[in-house]
Amino acid sequence: MQTFTYIFLTFLFASTLVQLYLSLRQKQHVSTHRSAVPAPFADKVTLEEHQKAADYTLAKGAFGRIEVLIGLVILLVWTLGGGLDWLDAQWRSVGWSGLYTGAAVVVSMLVISSLIDIPSALYRSFVLEERFGFNKMTPVTFATDLLKTTALSLLIGVPLVMLILWLMESAGAYWWLYAWAALTAFSLLMTWAYPKFIAPLFNKFNPLEEGEVADRLNALLARTGFNSKGVFVMDGSRRSAHGNAYFTGFGKNKRIVFFDTLLKHLTPAQVEAVLAHELGHFKRKHIVKGMLLSMSMTLAGFAAVAWLMQQEWFYTSLGVTHASTYMALLLFVLVSPAFTFFIGPLMAWWSRKHEFEADAFAAEQSSSAELITALVGLYRENASTLTPDPWYSAFYDSHPPAAIRIAHLQQQP
């Protein structure tokens, strides 16, 4: 084996072992604290609800460890096992041009990967989520969603892949700048188009009905100076009992969306507090910062591919015998997670910092007490564990642990 092969395997197995170790720490910590509700929540969450959340977390963790090992095997099959090399050889034997061959290899690899993921998706929805009462999806809905997603991915993804590959082959030494600009423009376009053209293909979005909730939210939007295309209620209950709220869209095409499951469990004052938190992300420029970070990482990724595609060892070290632009791109996408895994805690810390800032904004514009009550309700209804392992949480959780977040809110004026 070549030097880079050893480097890749070192990072791959190290990241896998860390994932398994953290998952087992989470299992131990949650199991240890399963028998009693944490003191800050003793009067808000019953022991039965706390134990359901613990069992749900343990079940997801057990399946997650299996998925980690399956993902390891699949990645090794694609790379050192010769899977990508075999797929490339089959398409090159057809005799198409490099552009069409590359697009065929990329698309077929993604289709195969999606097919491999179907059993896991079925298990998550119809076994794991069903067991804890969260799944509301029917097999027909699952199949319909899969077909729609596949059709959309092909309709939108194939032209994008061909554009990127064409730029890699034809735009000269600085193709990576043009590719980055094209992908950035595409991402912005999709962000703008998603609420109006894509999301309605999967869910129904109805304007929030007039009443106390609408009055409170409109007053909040007015005093914070937030302009959007409206507040909408999504029929999330068609697929899951989990509740959520989010912003979507870009520029003047922004929307605020509440799951119908969320509105069923919160009072008007609590809904206002949740919206104030989401507005905090917008007002504190978290969305813009996130987009800029994503753009920067994408630019760095394309620059790395531009260099790696010129290195023969990059292909041969990863089980590929025929060097090509499209194979360099695929290999980079496949193996880069093993090398970037260890920046996870930094990204999680950055996200949690934003959550604290959004909570502080919500306390200023609404009520910290109402947001606390709303959050506890969400923890309870979504069966979110109140006792995550600190190391696991620091590595993975984009939101602060429940106890820390509530304590932070209680300190707000």
Give residue 125's Cα distance to chain centre: 17
Least confident of 122-131, 229-238, 333-342, 395-404: 229-238
359 is a catalytic site residue: yes
- Res 387: pLDDT: 96
| pLDDT of 142 above 70 | yes
| pLDDT of 201 above 70 | yes
| pLDDT of 244 above 90 | no
- Report yes or no on 350 lying in a domain: no
- Res 127: pLDDT: 96
| pLDDT of 343 above 90 | yes
As a whole number, mean pLDDT of residues 294-322 equals: 96
| pLDDT of 251 above 70 | no
Which residue, among 338, 346, 356, 374, has the nearest Cα to 412 in the 3D structure? 356
The percent of residues above 70 in pLDDT, for the chain, comes to: 99
| pLDDT of 319 above 90 | yes
184-193 per-position pLDDT tens digit:
999 999 888 8
Least confident of 128-137, 179-188, 231-240, 251-260: 251-260
Q: How many domains does the chain have?
A: 1
- Report yes or no on 228 lying in a domain: no
Mean pLDDT in the chain? 93
Band of the pLDDT at 323, cuts 50, 70, 90? very high
Alpha-carbon dihedral 334, 339, 344, 350, rounded to 10 degrees: -100
Tokens at residue 3, please? Answer: 């030097």
Task: Write down the catalytic residue from 359, 370, 381, 389.
Answer: 359
- Res 238: pLDDT: 86
| pLDDT of 53 above 70 | yes
- Report yes or no on 308 lying in a domain: no
As a whole number, mean pLDDT of residues 402-407 equals: 94
Tell me which amino acid residue 128 is.
L
259-280 per-position pLDDT tens digit:
988 888 889 999 999 999 989 9
As a whole number, mean pLDDT of residues 248-253 equals: 70
- Report yes or no on 63 lying in a domain: yes
What is residue 144's DSSP assignment? H
278 is a catalytic site residue: yes
65-114 per-position pLDDT tens digit:
999 999 999 999 999 999 999 999 999 999 999 999 999 999 999 999 99
- Report yes or no on 249 lying in a domain: no
Which residue, among 84, 65, 54, has the nearest Cα to 19 in the 3D structure? 65
- Report yes or no on 99 lying in a domain: yes
If one counts every other C-beta atom within 10 angstroms of the C-beta of residue 158, the result is 15
* Spatial distance between the Cα atoms of 396 and 389, rounded to a whole number of angstroms: 11
- Report yes or no on 89 lying in a domain: yes
Q: Give just the sign of the alpha carbon dihedral 379, 381, 382, 388.
A: positive
- Res 210: pLDDT: 85
- Domain of 123 in residue numbering reads as 3-171+317-341
279-303 per-position pLDDT tens digit:
999 889 998 899 999 999 999 999 9
Question: Is there a contact between 236 and 243 (Cβ–Cβ < 8 Å)?
Answer: yes
* 3-state SS record for 308-342: HCCCHHHHHCCCCCCCCHHHHHHHHHHHHHHHHHH
- Res 252: pLDDT: 67
Question: Is there a contact between 103 and 325 (Cβ–Cβ < 8 Å)?
Answer: no
- Report yes or no on 42 lying in a domain: yes
Q: For 357-388, b where at least 16 C-beta lie within 10 A, e where not — what string?
A: bbbbbbbebbbbebbbbbbbbbbbbbbbbbbb
* 3-state SS record for 32-70: HCCCCCCHHHCCCCCHHHHHHHHHHHHHHHHHHHHHHHH
* Spatial distance between the Cα atoms of 76 and 68, rounded to a whole number of angstroms: 12
Helix, strand or coil, per DSSP, at residue 194: helix
Helix, strand or coil, per DSSP, at residue 257: strand
Task: Write down the catalytic residue from 272, 278, 370, 381.
Answer: 278
355-404 per-position pLDDT tens digit:
999 999 999 999 999 999 999 998 998 999 999 999 999 999 999 999 99
